[in-house]
Amino acid sequence: MNFLTEIVAFVVAIGVLVVVHEFGHYSVARMCGVKVLRFSVGFGKPLVRWVSKKTGVEWTISALPLGGYVKMLDERETEGTIPSEDLPRAFNRQPVLKRIAIVAAGPAANFLLAIALFAAVFAGGVTEPQAIVSTPAPESAAAHAGFEGGEQIVSLRDSQGGDTHAIRSWSDLRWKLLDASFDHRNIVLTAKTHDGTFDFPLTVSGITDADAEQDFMDKLGFTPGGGTLTVAGVEAGSAAQKSGLVAGDRLRAIDGRPIDSATRFIDYVKSHGGKPVTLVIERGDGNQARRDTVQIVPDVKRDASTGKDIGRIGAALANQLPTVDVRYGPFESLRLGVNRTWDISVYSLRMFGRMIVGEASLKNLSGPVTIADYAGKSARLGMTAFVSFLALVSISLGVLNLLPIPVLDGGHLLYYLVEAVTGKAVSDRWQLVLQRAGLVCIVALSMIALFNDLTRLIRF
């Protein structure tokens, strides 16, 4: 069933994104008076085909669904003679500004779609964990900033001054910290505690690009907290069962440290394989609730992914975090949609630039297998998650197509910008050479992305 969900979600996602991208080219070409011959979703042999009686455009759905194209009348690509009345409608005869507009319309449509999708998410509202911090790991940036656990972060600002940005949820905090981490900017977080509201200066200069690419929040020492950690189940014969833990027990502390995060609890247990740890648990409800102390020795197990020995107690955990409903008005939602699209676009470009110069890992490239995996996972999480996923991939598609690589929209834009500046078109010979070089680049990127997909899939 999960595989079927991934396939359906992937087809829907790719179908929507391709249609929107190509419709951008199609609509602007029609507005510019260019004759469109075919609008194809997919490549290869057409499976479904019909011709519009009104426009004469051939609409097709083809066998290979990974993309699409809009074919326009062009003297360079047409065999035979073009009727004289159609020559003014040929793409190659259009002024350079019109050609730039037609080519740029595809990526622009993807960005507009992302803005609309993000705006819909912000306007429709979403339930997210509150920005409450769990007890940070010792020596982490959060611990050095003074966080002890239980603080609710309400705003953020640069340490050098500037605007103060409100923090409404954990997701909001994550995006703000990602931006600061990527720029290595030190910031000040304002948080509410039981004793009042205080500032916590946070140093992120120690975060590397590799950390930012992975789980940088955990590296900084931030995990969602403020919730209740409950034992959901216990494996027969496990260390948890031998210690007397039962389903329904609420975990309050481990070795004297308050615990409200499954991530922190699991990390602590992993690092204490074969070593006794003391748990403070709470059992019962209401007036019947009581606290007990339980000592447990985590079993030593080999981690299949790392090959290292880790501690394991054999208990399933449920982490109930306090949540907040985040909802905005229509105009604020639109503004936030624009901002989120801009931030992700800039981040994507900068990350790609760092991969080119070797400052970031090529493992960040993903192919269709990873996209299908995340499409399925987001679809199972609900409509809001799937819509957000669509917006993210739409931005990636727009950014990718704007890269100045021949065979992509960005490569054609580069030709036309050179023509606009010099007044001379790039020669056919040079275009052919650059097209071949661009094709090599695309094939290389595709192979790296596919290799990364397979690595994630089978972990070799």
Contacts 24+ apart (CB under 8 A), 12-19: 12/375, 13/371, 13/375, 13/389, 13/390, 13/393, 14/65, 14/66, 14/371, 15/41, 15/65, 16/113, 16/390, 17/110, 17/113, 17/390, 17/393, 17/394, 17/397, 18/42, 18/65, 18/67, 18/68, 19/68
Choose, from 6, 22, 128, 151, the residue flagged as catalytic.
Answer: 22
Beta bridge partners of residue 290, listed in sequence order? 283
Tokens representing residue 447 in the block: 């192979």
How far apart CA 323 and CA 126 sit, in angstroms, is 10
Which ranges of 244-287 does DSSP label H, i.e. alpha helix?
262-270
How far apart CA 114 and CA 107 sit, in angstroms, is 11
Q: Count other Cβ atoms within 10 Å, centred on residue 104.
A: 20
- Read off the DSSP letter of residue 156: E
Is 22 assigned a catalytic role?
A: yes
Cα angle 453-402-336, degrees, rounded to a multiple of 5: 85
Report the catalytic residues.
22
